[in-house]
């Protein structure tokens, strides 16, 4: 647990310094340490920045604790995998030993027979004289006095196990943990090493040549077996088997046939490792260019390893290789990555080993990703979203959906003129499928045409729906535990905002104020205060830009909105003056050929001055709100992009398209994190809306196949 | 709807489409529909073309599986009945229409509850439509929209019987609403012909004299 501890320490330090620096003694009441130092002298003064800071501090602490738990969990999981591997190794070892005993028995019988024949000139009758037969393939063919006395397990199963463990390591991608476990292993190996040394002394009775290959020492053992007593030979055999087992644990597949490619590769790798260790030793503690914690930690482990190799140096050259191989193969995968690179400079075997490095490099990358912070790391862990709930009850295309801000509740709006309320906690178990069916709790009927858009108030008490009939209805949300077949309550419909004269295509609700934006095919964008007596606050229209298709409030400038138009223009307006403030400039190519570049959806980033637009020409474009310049443009889908949603933290972007897929994007580096094929086509339409739950890990998609799906 | 030669027609309602242009695209021949929702697309296309041409709407394309055809039509009926329910919500109050009745002969009990209940007419309407929506979308009975088990097709009859009561209640108690709605959608006429054609309801239960009226005014239906 050393690494996480260190990490925690380094991360906590600046924050607590910050805390002290910003708050000073005046708000010491918030912090236990401060409280102790300033007790009695200071009155507790609460200030808004102080409180905010305290909340942020607490939040950071919780996040950190959570990531700590994640670390612990990953660690335990790694440990389980490790122990499982070890158990397998032990089993192999056992089988190996049993076989060896049988072999020795056989040899002994043969010797006796020979002796008897020489002495008495007759055959000795001593029962079963058949060579032992083994079930395992690849062992049965083993020659009794051959070159390869201890291939205990077939290559395949070793490689499978090795592959499995590697996969696992990549999956958890948590190098800190690995190093930790690894260092434990190294230490326990050192413990084991004492035993090995004891055995080594036995071995030293024989002249042991410095070997290059794994089978060499065994060969010597074999050779030495003939003149010496059987017991000693058995000891040597056992030791060889133990070593073989080490190698298994090290995931280093040692094959005894010299011409086998794999074994060569691995042996090379082993040699490389040895070289690398030496290089590292030579380059010493400086370790330039590798300054992060992980490497520092790896350095410690490395020192242990050096210690190990040094001990072994005294006994047997070959065993040194074994040890190193063990260490690097087992745990070093990622940690040793950069170090190996160092070693490659003067290494002949580089090409072979770079193959291995490919995987290692990946591991290092995932390690970097972890460094983004506690939040990023938790996200990193839950990389894949899977369909969990299928919401089936609409008769026609689902046009829009919106989540409740807190509860696992959502509303869908459909072309069948209705909206439906769903509670994800009230599921109907569906047979034969992993996904759960949910039945709607309430059906909102009032629109006389398809319902096209939806917005949920930030309190979750009300929602607004805009339809093809030009109406915007304001609904009071029924209790999410309502009986689906309760009697009709007309008060669910709170009000009707009916100033639009054509289809209402977009709604957006202000996060703090009770204000609503709507855009309509009648060419206007309207600002509403739905609770007031005269709900319509103002109307915006632009001859130049044409029909608005989507609107959103700009989050960092509460008095601004961004409107997107079918003409592919995108403009930020000041709500007070009703004047355009910034025109988000279309790139040159767009200006040249405006046809087919319609913006289908515009969303404002929750924290950054960034506007994201979804276009008919398969692009998603990012604009800077202050300069109005295009920041990034990417072909995001195979067909028109219809919908966008940004997660509440602003880290991920979700997009839906008529190509039937939804895609999750990392806002930071604009890479696609996941793609899910979610809905079927009706005519040429497929996915019409996507959404993030504001506070829970749910995402949802709405499709023209009359279904909505929720992913977890 | 702009149509350029050589450019494939995209049958989409893009954001910003005006209400009058909604779903107004050139018909797609049934043979060219490759979607799993082809039957729904086809039915909606036929209705959009001419809602009063019921014979045309009820004529299935060649080789169409009858179970799916009936199922998709019933979905469409339930969907369009939402329109009637919206109008009834404004006029049919639980205080005045305390029971679901048409003629004085029957009081209909709401089957949406564990034990059938004497719901007010508007509740009966809503519950029946909600229940039909659940049944017709049920993963258990209708997991596919391409092929439907015979045992599930058998369920369509009872759905028809229940939703028909909405027509009859509207006809006998909210005649103005019924007439307005019928003049726009021809829904009751279509429904009556549909259930007759496919034998989903017995003639005795079809109490709204809609076809007779037409015969009286000289219009003849298939």
Of A506, A521, A550, the CB nearest to B19: A521
The token duo for B133 is 């929506």
- Tokens 């950054």 correspond to A608
pLDDT confidence bin for B147, thresholds 50/70/90: confident
Tell me the pLDDT tens digit for each residue of A515-571.
899 999 999 999 999 888 888 888 988 888 888 999 999 988 888 999 998 888 889
Angle CA(A235)–CA(A205)–CA(A139) in degrees, nearest 5? 35
Chain A closest-CA separation from residue B17 CA (Å): 6
| Paired residues of A644 in beta bridges | A655
DSSP B20: G
Q: pTM to 2 decimals?
A: 0.59
Tell me the pLDDT tens digit for each residue of A562-601.
999 888 888 999 988 888 888 887 655 555 555 667 889 9
Element (H, E) at A248: helix A230-249
C-beta atoms surrounding B220 within 10 Å: 8
What pLDDT was estimated at residue B160? Answer: 92
Residue of A nearest to B84 (CA): A448
pLDDT surpasses 80 at A347: no
Residues of A in contact with B89 (CB under 8 A): 445-446, 488, 490
Tell me the pLDDT tens digit for each residue of A305-328.
555 544 444 444 444 444 344 433
Lowest-confidence pick of A428-437, A499-508, B137-146: A428-437
| Pairs of CB atoms within 8 A across A/B | 135
pLDDT confidence bin for B11, thresholds 50/70/90: confident
Tell me the pLDDT tens digit for each residue of A697-709.
899 999 999 999 9
What pLDDT was estimated at residue A379? Answer: 45
CA A51/CA A27 separation, integer angstroms = 9
One DSSP character per residue, A121-146 reads SS----S--SPP--SSTTTTT--TTS
What pLDDT was estimated at residue A228? Answer: 45
- The HSE-up count of residue B125 (CA atoms within 13 Å, CB side) is 30
Q: In sequence order, what are the residues at sequence separation of 6 or more whose Cβ sits closer than 8 angstroms to the Cβ of residue A80?
A: none
CA B208/CA B190 separation, integer angstroms = 12
Tell me the pLDDT tens digit for each residue of A68-97.
999 999 999 999 999 999 999 999 999 999
Element (H, E) at B69: helix B66-91
pLDDT surpasses 80 at A455: yes
Q: What percent of chain A has pLDDT over 70?
A: 56
Q: In sequence order, what are the residues at sequence separation of 6 or more whose Cβ sits closer than 8 angstroms to the Cβ of residue A606?
A: A555, A646, A648, A649, A650
pLDDT surpasses 70 at B125: yes
Q: Which residue has the higher pLDDT, A418 or B6?
A: A418
Residues of B in contact with A525 (CB under 8 A): none
What pLDDT was estimated at residue A530? Answer: 87
Burial A428-464 (b: 16+ CB within 10 A, else e): eebeeeebbbbbbbbbbbbbbbbbbbbbbbeebebbb
Residues of B in contact with A470 (CB under 8 A): 19
What pLDDT was estimated at residue A160? Answer: 81
What pLDDT was estimated at residue B150? Answer: 87
C-beta atoms surrounding B20 within 10 Å: 10
Element (H, E) at A288: none
Tell me the pLDDT tens digit for each residue of A119-173.
877 766 665 556 655 544 444 344 444 444 444 445 667 778 877 777 776 666 5
Greatest Cα pair distance, chain B, in angstroms, is 62
What pLDDT was estimated at residue A327? Answer: 39
What pLDDT was estimated at residue B207? Answer: 86
Q: Which residue has the higher pLDDT, A186 or A688?
A: A688
Element (H, E) at A27: none
On whether the CB atoms of residues A488 and B123 are closer than 8 A, the answer is yes
Q: Which residue has the higher pLDDT, A511 or A434?
A: A511
ipTM of the complex: 0.90
What pLDDT was estimated at residue A594? Answer: 54
B94 close to A (CB below 8 A): yes
What pLDDT was estimated at residue A388? Answer: 85
Average pLDDT of the segment spanning A178-200: 52
On whether the CB atoms of residues A555 and A604 are closer than 8 A, the answer is yes
CA A656/CA A659 separation, integer angstroms = 8
What pLDDT was estimated at residue B209? Answer: 86
Sign for the pseudo-dihedral over CA of B66, B67, B69, B73: positive
CA B28/CA A681 separation, integer angstroms = 14
CA A320/CA B70 separation, integer angstroms = 79
A residues 572-631 near B, CB within 8 Å? 598, 600-601, 616
Q: For B89, phi and psi rounded to 5 degrees? A: -55, -35
Is B78 annotated to bind a ligand? Reply is no
Q: For A507, phi and psi rounded to 5 degrees? A: -135, 145
Q: How far is the CA of A65 from the CAs of A11, A61, B106, B169, in angstroms? A: 12, 6, 66, 63
Residue of B nearest to A471 (CA): B19
pLDDT confidence bin for B105, thresholds 50/70/90: confident
On whether the CB atoms of residues A422 and B134 are closer than 8 A, the answer is no
CA A291/CA A429 separation, integer angstroms = 53
SS3 B100: strand
C-beta atoms surrounding A350 within 10 Å: 16
Average pLDDT, chain A: 70
Residues of B in contact with A392 (CB under 8 A): 137-139
DSSP A330: I
Is B169 annotated to bind a ligand? Reply is yes
How large is the angle between the packed helices A230-249 and A175-204, nearest 10 degrees? 170
Average pLDDT of the segment spanning B169-180: 92
Element (H, E) at B208: none
What pLDDT was estimated at residue A345? Answer: 37
pLDDT confidence bin for A236, thresholds 50/70/90: low
Is B97 annotated to bind a ligand? Reply is yes
CA B111/CA B119 separation, integer angstroms = 10
Average pLDDT of the segment spanning A39-60: 80
pLDDT confidence bin for A258, thresholds 50/70/90: very low
What pLDDT was estimated at residue A182? Answer: 54
């Amino acid at each position: 647990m050393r690494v996480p501890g260190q990490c925690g320490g380094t991360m906590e330090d600046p924050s607590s310094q910050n805390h002290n620096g910003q708050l000073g003694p005046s708000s010491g009441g918030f912090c236990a340490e401060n409280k102790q130092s300033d007790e009695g002298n200071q009155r507790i003064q609460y200030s808004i920045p102080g409180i905010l800071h305290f909340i942020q501090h607490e939040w950071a602490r919780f996040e950190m604790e959570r990531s700590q738990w994640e670390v612990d969990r990953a660690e335990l999981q790694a440990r389980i995998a490790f122990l499982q591997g070890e158990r397998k190794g032990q089993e192999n070892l056992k089988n190996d030993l049993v076989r060896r005993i049988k072999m020795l028995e056989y040899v002994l019988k043969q010797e006796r027979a020979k002796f008897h024949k020489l002495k008495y000139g007759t055959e000795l009758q001593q029962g079963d004289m058949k060579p032992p037969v083994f079930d395992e393939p690849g062992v049965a063919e083993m020659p009794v006095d051959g070159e390869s006395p201890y291939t205990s397990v077939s290559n395949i199963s070793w490689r499978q196990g090795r592959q499995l463990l590697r996969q696992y390591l990549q999956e958890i991608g948590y190098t800190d943990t690995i190093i930790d476990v690894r260092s434990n292993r190294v230490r326990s190996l050192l413990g084991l090493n004492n035993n090995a040394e004891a055995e080594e002394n036995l071995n030293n009775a024989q002249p042991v040549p410095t070997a290059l290959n794994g089978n060499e020492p065994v060969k010597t053992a074999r050779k030495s077996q003939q003149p010496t007593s059987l017991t000693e030979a058995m000891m040597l055999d056992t030791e060889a088997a133990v070593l073989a087992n080490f190698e298994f644990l090290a995931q280093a597949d040692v094959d005894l046939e010299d011409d086998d490619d794999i074994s060569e590769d691995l042996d090379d790798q082993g040699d490389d490792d040895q070289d690398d260790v030496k290089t590292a030793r030579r380059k010493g503690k400086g370790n330039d260019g590798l300054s992060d914690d992980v490497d520092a930690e790896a350095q410690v482990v490395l020192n242990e390893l050096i210690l190990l190799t040094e001990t072994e140096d005294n006994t047997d050259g070959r065993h040194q290789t074994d040890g190193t191989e063990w260490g690097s193969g087992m745990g070093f995968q990622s940690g040793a990555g950069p170090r190996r690179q160092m070693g490659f400079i003067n290494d002949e075997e580089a090409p072979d080993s770079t193959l291995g490095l490919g995987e290692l490099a990946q591991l290092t990358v995932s390690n970097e990703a972890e460094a983004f912070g506690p939040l990023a790391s938790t996200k990193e862990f839950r990389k894949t979203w899977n369909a969990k709930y299928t919401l089936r009850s609409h008769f026609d295309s689902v046009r829009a959906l919106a989540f409740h801000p807190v509860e696992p509740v959502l509303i869908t709006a459909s072309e069948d003129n209705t909206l439906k309320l769903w509670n994800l906690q009230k599921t109907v178990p569906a047979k034969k499928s992993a996904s759960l069916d949910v039945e709607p709790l309430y059906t909102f009927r009032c629109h006389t045409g398809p319902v096209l858009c939806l917005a949920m108030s930030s309190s979750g008490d009300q929602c607004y729906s805009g339809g093809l009939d030009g109406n915007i209805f304001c609904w009071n949300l029924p209790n999410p535990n309502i009986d689906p077949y309760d009697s009709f309550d007309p008060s669910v419909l709170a009000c009707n905002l009916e100033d639009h004269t054509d289809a209402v295509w977009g709604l957006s609700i202000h996060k703090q104020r009770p204000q609503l934006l709507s855009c309509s095919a009648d060419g206007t964008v309207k600002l509403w205060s739905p609770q007031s007596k005269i709900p319509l606050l103002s109307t915006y229209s632009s001859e130049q830009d044409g029909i608005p298709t989507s609107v959103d409030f700009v989050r960092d400038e509460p008095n601004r909105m961004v409107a997107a138009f079918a003409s592919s223009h995108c403009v930020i307006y000041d709500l007070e003056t009703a004047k355009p403030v910034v025109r988000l400039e279309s790139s040159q190519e767009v200006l040249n050929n405006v046809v087919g570049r319609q913006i289908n959806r515009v969303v404002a980033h929750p924290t950054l001055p960034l506007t994201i637009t979804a276009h008919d020409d398969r692009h998603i474009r990012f604009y800077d709100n202050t300069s109005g310049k295009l920041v990034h443009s990417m072909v995001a889908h195979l067909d028109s992009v219809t919908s966008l949603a940004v997660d509440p933290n602003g880290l991920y972007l979700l997009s839906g398209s008529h190509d039937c897929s939804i895609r999750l994007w990392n806002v930071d580096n604009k890479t696609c994190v996941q793609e899910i094929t979610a809905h079927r086509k009706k005519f040429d339409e497929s996915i019409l809306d996507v959404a993030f739950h504001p506070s829970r890990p749910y995402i949802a998609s709405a499709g023209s196949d009359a279904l909505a799906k929720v992913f977890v | 709807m702009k149509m350029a030669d050589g450019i494939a027609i995209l049958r989409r309602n893009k954001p910003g489409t005006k209400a009058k242009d909604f779903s107004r695209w050139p018909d797609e021949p049934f043979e060219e529909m490759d979607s799993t929702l082809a039957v729904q697309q086809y039915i909606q296309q036929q209705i959009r073309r001419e809602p009063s041409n019921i014979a045309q709407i009820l004529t299935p394309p060649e080789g169409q599986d009858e179970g799916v055809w009936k199922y998709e039509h019933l979905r469409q009926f339930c969907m369009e009945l939402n329109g009637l329910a919206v109008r009834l919500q404004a006029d049919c109050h639980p205080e005045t229409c305390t029971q679901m009745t048409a003629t004085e002969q029957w009081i209909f009990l709401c089957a949406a509850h564990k034990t059938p209940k004497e719901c007010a007419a508007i509740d009966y309407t809503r519950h029946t439509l909600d229940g039909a929506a659940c049944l017709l979308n049920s993963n258990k009975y209708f997991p596919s929209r391409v092929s439907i088990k015979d045992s599930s097709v058998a369920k369509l009859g009872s759905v028809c019987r229940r939703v028909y009561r909405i027509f009859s209640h509207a006809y006998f108690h909210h005649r103005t609403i019924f007439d307005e709605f019928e003049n726009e959608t021809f829904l009751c006429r279509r429904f009556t012909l549909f259930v007759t054609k496919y034998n989903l309801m017995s003639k005795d239960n079809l109490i709204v004299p809609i076809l007779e009226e037409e015969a009286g005014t000289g219009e003849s239906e298939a």
